[in-house]
Amino acid sequence: MLIRNSEVKKLSDDIRKIIDGQTVDLCDNREGVWSILKNDIHTLATLKSEQVDALGCERDVMKDTLTNISHQLKTPLTSMMIMADLLETAPSNKQSEFLINIKVCLTRLWWLSSALLKIAKLDAGAVEFSKDIVQSDILINHAIEPLQTLFDLKNHRVEISGEAKLLCDKHWTAEAVTNVVKNASEYSPDGGKILIESGTNPICSWIAITDSGEGITNTTIANLFKRFSGSRSDHGYGIGLPLALAIMQSQNGDIEVEGGGNGSGATFTLKFYK
């Protein structure tokens, strides 16, 4: 098969355009090795373009993530710096108040940094989940233990009912349950009740957590699991529920939300598919 110099020159020019980032269609439906070569180059160029686009998307996501992290860290750090500057000259009653507020800010920073590290490990696929049979009541009690102070402060009553055998990583799943229960406590009124039920059906085992708040609209539900933007609280980070969902999905599970309303609180159901 003879290939004209003009065809070689045109292909060379098209390849240079592709290298410069231009879009060129090299597809050739004719038969012969020359057409095969052009189609292979077109496929290679398409893959290269897709990879560049993917890298661009990753770069934008990373930029947005770093911006959000910076914003979340800046607020408590600025507050602590101001209170630390005023601490020496403030009256004794104000000093005690500043110290309490600084402790609260430090606790929030510790939780945020811990959650971000866990999210990063999950995103990187650096977590090896161990699968064991865990009784739901044992898992739930383990998960709510760190929240007892929060329950006491808001005078919350926690009711646990039902039972199920869960095939999951106890440590990481308890982390997911803790975050969902913490969310339920934050949106339940003082003196409210948090109901935690568990059970099983032919499709999955499940843990359902219902708060005693005012419910959630469908619009809000759509954004609940978006990082840094799903929090309904002025003091929330929008990271607890996304972390819980990432843990569940990494174990072939999911979280479903029923908004409630009209006197019923929202229900978050963690599902462990069989």
Query: Where residue 258 falls among pLDDT bands split at 50, 70, 90?
Result: very high
In CATH, what number does 1-126 get?
A: 1.10.287.130
Query: Where residue 156 falls among pLDDT bands split at 50, 70, 90?
Result: very high
What integer pLDDT is reported at residue 170 of this predicted model? 95
Where would I find the beta strands (DSSP E) of 92-203?
132-135, 157-162, 165-168, 193-200
> 59-63, 76-80, 166-170, 244-248: which range is least confident on average?
59-63
Cβ–Cβ under 8 Å, residues 247 and 180: no
Q: DSSP for 141-157, please give it.
A: HHHHGGGHHHHHHHT-E
Give residue limits of the domains in the chain.
1-126, 132-273
Model pTM greater than 0.75? no
Using only the alpha carbons of the chain, give its radius of gyration. Answer: 27
Cα torsion through 141, 146, 148, 154, rounded to 10: -120
Where would I find the beta strands (DSSP E) of 173-215?
193-200, 204-210
What integer pLDDT is reported at residue 61 of this predicted model? 64
What integer pLDDT is reported at residue 233 of this predicted model? 55
Task: Convert the pLDDT of each residue in 207-254 to its tens digit.
Answer: 999 999 999 988 888 888 887 765 555 555 678 899 999 999 999 999
Question: CA torsion sign, 174 to 175 to 180 to 184?
Answer: positive
Q: Which residue has the tokens 């799903």?
A: 230
Q: Which residue has the tokens 């373009």?
A: 49
What integer pLDDT is reported at residue 193 of this predicted model? 95
In CATH, what number does 132-273 get?
A: 3.30.565.10
Query: Where residue 68 falls among pLDDT bands split at 50, 70, 90?
Result: low
Q: DSSP for 215-235, please give it.
A: ---HHHHHHTTSTTT---STT
CATH topology match: 1-126 vs 132-273:
no
**Mean predicted confidence (pLDDT) in 268-273:** 97
